[in-house]
Amino acid sequence: MELVSENRAFGGTHSRYSHASATVNCDMTFAVFLPPFASADNPVPVLYWLSGLTCNDENFMQKAGAMKLAAQLGMAIVAPDTSPRGDHVADVDSYDMGKGAGFYVNATQSPYAEHYQMYDYVTKELPALIEREFPVTRERAISGHSMGGHGALVIALRNPKQYVSVSAFSPVANPVNCPWGKQAFSAYLGDNEQDWRGYDASVLLAEKQHYIPMLVEQGRSDQFLTEQLKPEALISAAQQSDTQLTLNMHEGYDHSYFFIASFIDEHLQFHAANLGLI
DSSP state of 225: I
Active site residue: 14, 145, 210, 255, which one? 255
Whole-number CA gyration radius for the chain: 17
Q: Is the dihedral of CA 93, 30, 16, 73 positive or negative?
A: positive
Half-sphere exposure of 155 (CA within 13 A, CB side): 34
146 is catalytic: yes
222 is catalytic: yes
Pairing of strands 12-21, 2-9: antiparallel
DSSP state of 87: T
Active site residue: 146, 165, 170, 202, which one? 146
* Close Cβ partners of 212 (under 8 Å, ≥ 6 residues apart): 156, 157, 160, 163, 164, 165, 166
255 is catalytic: yes
Active site residue: 57, 81, 91, 222, which one? 222
* Close Cβ partners of 62 (under 8 Å, ≥ 6 residues apart): none
**Exposed e or buried b for every residue in 177-214, given b needs 16+ CB within 10 A?**
bbebbebbbebbbeeeeebbeebbbbbbbbeeebebbb
Q: Active-site residues: which are they?
A: 146, 222, 255
